[in-house]
Amino acid sequence: MIQHNGGGIVLQVDIKSSKPIYKQIMDQIKEGVVKGVFQPGDKLPSVRELSTMLTINPNTVSKAYQELEREGAIETRRGRGTFIVENYKPQADPDRLGQLNDLLKKVVVEAYYLGLSKKELKQMLADLYAKLGGARL
């Protein structure tokens, strides 16, 4: 578990996880935005800097940044760096909406197999909203 704390931001990567490193970075940045840890316009660590901090390859960081930009979450300015997008406009993408529905369906099925009632799952969801986005959501 390698950690990076530069200027208040905290990113950590688990090399041993089955989840790809570039996806770990993506998820943490998006979660950080929701939490408010990353503010619109904030500068992210440079590709080389973050790769050094996490002792991973620059290409891996670059891949994470490219995917995030493709999703519209961040933007890159050549020669300047990578930044959290300002005034993010969500678009009702049918594909991503379907994926979200599938993901949520999986949650419901898993909850059943863990013995969680509908009420308990709703509570879990409420707790997450409280924990993640006090003001934002």
Partner DNA sequence: TCACGTGTACCATACCGCCTAGTACGCATG
Partner DNA sequence: CATGCGTACTAGGCGGTATGGTACACGTGA
Name residues contacting its own copies, limited to 61-80 (CB under 8 A).
71-73
Closest separation between CB of residue 100 and its own copies, Å? 5
Residue 3 or 55 having the CB closest to DNA: 55
Binding-site size, DNA (CB under 7 A): 29
Q: Are 51 and 58 in contact (CB under 8 A)?
A: yes
SS3 (DSSP) at 37: coil
Of residues 62, 37, 34, the one with CA closest to residue 133: 34
3 state DSSP class of 109: helix
Integer Cα distance of 55 and 72 in angstroms: 26
Q: Which is nearer to DNA, 33 or 44 (CB)?
A: 44
Amino acid of residue 68 = L
- Binders of DNA among 89-108, rule CB under 7 A? none
Nearer to its own copies among residue 79 and residue 91 (C-beta): 91
Nearest CA-CA partner of 82 in 44, 35, 130: 44
Under the binding rule (CB under 8 A), the answer on residue 104 touching its own copies is yes
Binding partner of residue 37 among its own copies, DNA, none, CB under 5 to 8 Å per kind?
none
Bridge partners of 2, per DSSP, are 13
Question: Which of 5/102 has CB closer to its own copies?
Answer: 102
Residues that bind DNA (CB under 7 A): 15, 18, 20-23, 44, 46-49, 55-60, 62-63, 65-66, 69, 76-82
